[in-house]
Structure 1
């Protein structure tokens, strides 16, 4: 996600993890045990940090929730995000990650509400509009999702403009073309990843399980190791349990 700035306490937590070496990620090598070990280490460190504080601050709880979500433990992640919001209610609109965790937990209406709140603080993020779209489609219908599609102007990342247009209907050719336009450039791996992720998400919203599973699996096999790459791996596994 092209996220708005998070509370400083959360940034402090990530600084701790970086210094501890937990987030010095290994290069992707298709063996899922590498990812599993990475997430186990991150969750263990985050749990220890929270347990070591009599009244853990919101930032530590968000850090634990992030580690849990990236490791596929989205129900526990929801609980930790909710504890963080209790500590710091003003942080809620910034926690797009909480919306994704709610989505995987099947709490689509609550996730939709979170993404609507996030748009207030981050109005140009097409990813936010896409996650809102799939939540409304799951809770109501695709037509309703298109009717209340969130605006997200000015997201210059490839292929976000094409993704936003595709949320309104049509085929996936424009997304594929936007990705292909970046072939041979340093941004190609990112464009390819996001193209697969959001083709998969849109196909899921539209009830096309075969296309959704195919593209989410491709996204999950990306060499990237950032937050959304981990979300894609969670999504690819999650969708297989839904059909």
Structure 2
């Protein structure tokens, strides 16, 4: 759930994405990773070390057809990997397919894969924040809430986790209850996460917008603007203000980013249609 978290980038954000390293070498690495499943993670790590990448995020796609093609490719690769394991599927392969399915909007199928992965590797459950997101989209709000509570035990500083927990409690019960049991998430330095956390108990969105505006002209602005729109939309949805939610999630969905949460934004925007 963290845009610049190397742990999440290593596991999730290379598969099915273009590696934007700006060189012919990057294309060779991508082709090798696609055709050599056993070395995919290794190649990605080498790319990160050589080129200073902690997040494979920006892209050249600009339309729905391109996003669909990207997701279809990721699903095909993940499916072929899982099929190659025959009767001994691994939790990591199931999670990889679940990721690809969730990012394409096929949330019921994603949940099935995540649940099977957890059956094979119960200790992985607290780390599978994306399972909580998939559970939200299929309307299993209490199950999603429990997942985000477990995730906090292994990632206690993630404001995004607190926001998704808030959303799920609001949907399962009501927003007043959600505000009474907010998850703490101190020390998330990403802009505008501090302001997002402060907004969960109530109020307006000016502080979030102001934090984003202060990044104008800096390398942080595109990311800050994306997450500002995303979480204004999420909070508005939790509070029952569907029009504000749709407006801001559609803006987030229009981002040039192709990382995990950018794809989730597109799924969320479609979910509100």
Unaligned runs of 5+ in 1: none
Q: Residues of 2 paired with 1:46 and 1:234: CA distance?
A: 19
Unaligned runs of 5+ in 2: 19-29, 41-55
Decide whether the 8 Å contact of 2:15 with 2:74 is kept in 1: no
Give the corresponding residue for 1:50. Answer: 82
Decide whether the 8 Å contact of 1:4 with 1:121 is kept in 2: no
Matches within 5 A, 1:45-194: 45-54=77-86, 55-194=88-227
Please say which structure displays the higher CA radius of gyration. Answer: 2
Q: Residues of 1 paired with 2:160 and 2:58: CA distance?
A: 24
Q: Residues of 2 paired with 1:24 and 1:158: CA distance?
A: 17
Q: Does 1:20 align with 2:52?
A: no
Decide whether the 8 Å contact of 2:250 with 2:269 is kept in 1: yes
Q: Residues of 2 paired with 1:43 and 1:203: CA distance?
A: 32
TM-score scaled to structure 2, two decimals?
0.82
Report the aligned-residue RMSD: 2.2
Could you say what secondary structure the match of 1:177 adopts?
Answer: helix
Matches within 5 A, 1:201-220: 201-220=234-253
Decide whether the 8 Å contact of 1:4 with 1:94 is kept in 2: no
Q: Residues of 1 paired with 2:6 and 2:184: CA distance?
A: 16
Structure 1 residue 51 displacement after superposition: 1.1
Sort the Cα spacing of 1:238 and 1:122 in 2 relative to 1 into closer, same or farther, 3 A: same
Structure 1 residue 156 displacement after superposition: 0.2
Give the corresponding residue for 1:38. Answer: 70
Sort the Cα spacing of 1:158 and 1:78 in 2 relative to 1 into closer, same or farther, 3 A: same
